[in-house]
Amino acid sequence: MKRLKIGRSQIKDILWLLSIALIVFTPLGFQLKVQLTRILAFSPGITSVEERTVLQDFNWQLKSRDGSRFSLASVKGKVVVINFWATWCPPCIAEMPSLNALYKSYNEEVVFIFIAQDKPDRVTEYLEKQGYNLPVYFAQHTPPNLLQHTSIPTTYILSKEGEIIVQETGAADWNSKNTRALLSELLQG
């Protein structure tokens, strides 16, 4: 009977494959992706004036975590931050601390709408674990055309006139000086 010999090269290959499996298929990998995304997060860009569009259709119904109804029409004429996210999305989780900090600073003046694309019990568990008290909603039907997106996280900042000033897909540092300056400017306008 022949013995199977494993060489150094094969051991390295096995360790490399195990490392990749850990990153891709375990909670450790999820947290690694979150931390790496946080490190690489940037301040969101402002849409150029020529490329901005104005949201005309505010006819969109949402449901809060406690089951009450919320209409986007109720925030027409206000500065609004809309964030689409999920608990299973590493970039969403990576940007959540900066969104939470921004919310804590501006929640009296700016309307924040966090739309979870997830199961309500998972969202509640995540928010409680993190100590976040964010206004989270669940979509009851498709958002207006200008708020439709193909990936998460996607975040929009609307002016009082409904103009989409920021449309950012991917994790960003929402608590940046640039974002704070933009919100302050929009609140004065």
- Convert the pLDDT of each residue in 88-116 to its tens digit: 999 999 999 999 999 999 999 999 999 99
Q: Average of pLDDT values for 156-169? A: 97
Mean pLDDT of the chain, nearest integer: 90
Residue 111, strand partner residues: 80
Cα(177)–Cα(183) distance, integer angstroms: 10
Vertex 65 angle, CA 149 and 135, to 5°: 65
Cα(164)–Cα(157) distance, integer angstroms: 6
Task: To the nearest 10°, report the CA torsion of 68, 74, 78, 83.
Answer: 40
Q: Quote the tokens at residue 143.
A: 């958002």
Cα(159)–Cα(55) distance, integer angstroms: 10
The whole model's pTM is what?
A: 0.84
pLDDT at 45 over 70: yes
Residue type, 74: S
